[in-house]
Structure 1
Amino acid sequence: MRSLLGRLLAVSMLVFVTACSSVSYYTQAVVGQLSILSKRKSLERLIADEATHETLRNRLQFIQSVLAFADDNGLPVNGAYSAYVDTGRAYVVWNVFAAPTFSTELKRFCYPMVGCLAYKGFFAEQAARDYAQSLADEEMDVYVGGVAAYSTLGWFDDPVLNTFIARSDERLAALLFHELAHRVVFVKGDTQFNESFATTVERTLLRQWLTERGQPSVFDAYLEDEAKWQQTVALITKARSALAEIYASDEKASVRRTSKHERLQQLQDEYAELEQTWVTQGPYAGWMAQPINNAQLGTVAIYHELVPQFEALLATSGNLRAFLEEVKVLAKQSNEVREQRLMAEAESL
């Protein structure tokens, strides 16, 4: 395993090999990560410490049980989540998403070590919002989202954070499964592949975990949320397709802008109607209540668009461990080969 110093030096080198305009960005990334690492406290010690609040102790013990389950099912836990950090804030990072005024495709941000991603992360909220404003000044659609957890892809042993520890049991377990999945494979420059894969693992293990815990009512509620999620994503996917047609038309910019506004309003109206059919509030209530743009819609696509294809591959693989091995092989292929394989799996069912 690479030493902590070696890893920090590797990350720090980014500051010196990039353009001057990027130095401040990579500096904040290094400083932010160092701040997280410097605050780590061992889970074992916190659990054993009589001064630890009982609520925190119970959550940490719960996390240990989830990690054991994940490890038993083939996820590479190793030293991940063996320490706790209180960041003192609601989110650990803030991601900036952007898309052109007349495009459904997210802007890509490229980095030396992980390739191009569909977002740019900041450890300080104001820095994220300032950067988003600079993109908005260039007439880009922008969206800033707070993030409770992120994966360093095995470079560091990611800690448990205060930003997500208070979640319900099922939400916390789902998050851990998702982040650990990123340790299985990470394809440079393919955010949609990476996030859709992690979402598939998250959903698969959560189903199994709830079933084995003998919590039928919680599992039923989860299935209900799943159905709401699928209906909502279907609406968003339909809206993005309609918007793509609007943007590709030969109409004047003013006409396309009006059509864009009308279609986004239609999406919000359709979601409001859909919510009326549900007993409880839907998963995107707050999200849909705010002004929507191309960047915001793109965040849904990168996390969910390939999930059906991955679930088809999981079905043909037979079990999760075999699926993980299949994806490891797939991750080494070209973008075109990966896309063809996933589409073929989905069409075969």
Structure 2
Amino acid sequence: MRLRALAIACLLAATSACSSLRYYAHVAHGQVALLAKRERVAAVVADPHRDARLRERLAQAQQARAFASDRLGLPRNRSYTSYVELGRPYVTWNVFATAEFSVEPVTHCFPFAGCVAYLGYFERARAEREAARLRALGEDTSVEGAAAYSTLGWFSDPILSSMLRWSDDELDGTIFHELAHQELYVRDDTAFNESYASFVQQQGLREWRAARGLPPPDEHEDERDAAFTRLVLDLRERLKALYATERPEPELRLAKQEEFAAFRQRYAQRRDAEWGGSRRYDAWVQAPLNNASLVPFGLYETWIPAFARLFREAGGQWPQFHRRARVLADLPKAGRDAELARLAAER
């Protein structure tokens, strides 16, 4: 299963300061190297010597990019008007970590971007070394490749070759998602940021397909994704309850593995009974799992129903929707969550 990429906010190399100078140097070098490889999409599309399928995909992505600003009210800038051939499957590898008996992620805080639940590396070997260091300290770790990322508008983010492995809907939707982060981003509130951007992605994709005379996206796939996420979040709650007990560590360690085994059984039952035997998630489920593996789940979905309600209250008008979302963003965290909860309850 391809875990959805997080916005790598800590790659704001021009403005951020990380605790490790070596890490800072790494992300600064990686960001500069990436920007140096950019080619204008228009030039690639116009070059008859380039691969025809590449030119076709990029041409459509530019149409989606224009739609994002013309119809969805998203920033009109140079982001996603350039292309980078990476020569590797992912642009970054994210390291997630938790304590052995906790489902709460280790967080890392940066100026302007706020706190995030991972560290991003442009080289897999560096990410694996950091994960090994944390494991030696007794923490659970997970390394996940990310095909896309955002600098939140500090740089003109390119379309990456890693993004072209996706379908047209995934590629176009990701452009909408990442531009939404540039439109509105709240420090230290991942659930708000990702739910807002994910709603913009989903609703924007519906309108983008309709504008081209295409049917709505396949809702069944979205429903399966949501059901699988709920299954993983249920596991996280079970583990959280387990870790809250006062059992000795050896017993906790054994019970933890039993919970993961029971999760795999529940998954197999749901897959075969309700999801038509789809093996979309098998590879992830059958891989070694720990607390850190669960961290990315739920980050994108928490407040999507609230933003859907907000969009309806805005009459389906994007400028009004973005303005109302910004009003929410200006509230204190407790007030913002309370208002989002009210909106979500009034579906």
Same fold (TM over 0.5): yes
Choose the corresponding residue for 1:11, options 10, 13, 37: 13
Choose the corresponding residue for 1:29, options 13, 27, 30: 27
Whole-angstrom CA distance in 2 between matches of 1:249 and 1:99:
18
Choose the corresponding residue for 2:223, options 227, 230, 233: 227
1:172 is matched by which residue type in structure 2? L
Task: Give the drift of 1:282.
Answer: 5.0
Whole-angstrom CA distance in 2 between matches of 1:214 and 1:289:
40
Task: Give the drift of 1:318.
Answer: 3.0
Higher mean alpha-carbon deviation, 305-314 vs 82-91, is at 305-314
Whole-angstrom CA distance in 2 between matches of 1:283 and 1:340:
35
* Closer, same or farther: CA 258–290 of 1 in aligned 2, 3 Å: same
Whole-angstrom CA distance in 2 between matches of 1:252 and 1:287:
30
Task: Give the drift of 1:283.
Answer: 4.4
SS at match of 2:142: strand
- Does the 8 Å contact 1:182/1:198 carry over to 2? yes
Normalising by structure 1, we get a TM-score of 0.89
Task: Give the drift of 1:167.
Answer: 1.9
2:288 is matched by which residue type in structure 1? P
Unpaired runs of at least 5, structure 2: 1-11
Matches within 5 A, 1:1-349: 11-12=13-14, 14=16, 19=19, 22-71=20-69, 72-216=71-215, 219=216, 222-276=218-272, 277-279=274-276, 281=278, 283-319=280-316, 321=318, 322-349=320-347
Whole-angstrom CA distance in 1 between matches of 2:136 and 2:170:
37
Whole-angstrom CA distance in 2 between matches of 1:128 and 1:11:
18
Whole-angstrom CA distance in 1 between matches of 2:170 and 2:277:
17
- Does the 8 Å contact 1:109/1:118 carry over to 2? yes
Identity %: 35
* Closer, same or farther: CA 36–274 of 1 in aligned 2, 3 Å: same
SS at match of 2:163: helix
SS at match of 2:166: coil
Whole-angstrom CA distance in 1 between matches of 2:15 and 2:299:
29
Higher mean alpha-carbon deviation, 99-108 vs 253-262, is at 253-262
Higher mean alpha-carbon deviation, 310-319 vs 69-78, is at 310-319
- Does the 8 Å contact 1:312/1:345 carry over to 2? yes
2:159 is matched by which residue type in structure 1? V
* Closer, same or farther: CA 320–241 of 1 in aligned 2, 3 Å: farther
- Does the 8 Å contact 1:77/1:180 carry over to 2? no
1:248 is matched by which residue type in structure 2? A
1:301 is matched by which residue type in structure 2? G
- Does the 8 Å contact 2:305/2:343 carry over to 1? no
Q: How many residues align?
A: 333
SS at match of 1:110: strand
Q: State the Cα deviation string for residues 49-104 of structure 1 (Å, max 9, x = none).
A: 22222111111111111112211211114211111111111100111111112222
Whole-angstrom CA distance in 2 between matches of 1:188 and 1:136:
29
Task: Give the drift of 1:114.
Answer: 1.2
SS at match of 1:97: strand
Match of 1:3 in 2: none
